[in-house]
Chains A and B, each alone.
Chain A
Amino acid sequence: QVQLVQSGAEVKPPGASVKVSCEASAYPFTDYYVHWVRQAPGQGLEWMGIIDPSGGSTTYSQKFQGRLTLTSDTSTSTVYMHLRSLTSGDTAVYYCARWGWGLDYWGQGTLVTVSS
């Protein structure tokens, strides 16, 4: 069955960067765009960006422009989310999700905690 498996929880100091991976399986990796969505503790869902794994083209939310980079590795069917200049406001669960006609398959989420 389709799966998106994310890397484990991270704790980072303010000012650092974090890279979260999302490995896809059981579907043609390059046929579906992948989104990243985050959720701060007790808050709603926030859309961050999207990547076309086949060509690597990306679109980012204006909020994260200049601080977020999404990349893909077709040899391992893995998408990466790299977020720089972390602040306490970036503490959240980060999800990758496949775009079918909606976000039809989601990763399990990766908790990123920003703390000194």
Chain B
Amino acid sequence: AQRVTQPEKLLSVFKGAPVELKCNYSYSGSPELFWYVQYSRQRLQLLLRHISRESIKGFTADLNKGETSFHLKKPFAQEEDSAMYYCALSGKAAGNKLTFGGGTRVLVKP
């Protein structure tokens, strides 16, 4: 069965510091990995997906199949990055449904 683990419930960093959110997964086959973000009082929205290999709002994530990880990184955190972040997985073996991790709350302090 597929599983997504986000080991950190809360990450607190100062503005301008680097931030890295960890995500590990288990899946039989070729997964598709996503990061979703939920800002305060807003709906869940897609931040980025590994197949796009793009940087969104300064965030990047690299799929490491050997370590089964998809960590999210940003070199210089901004206060507007404070939000709840969810790593998610999908794939043919999982149908089209998303399997989410438990989420990491990021707090960027001024």
Chain A partners chain B:
no
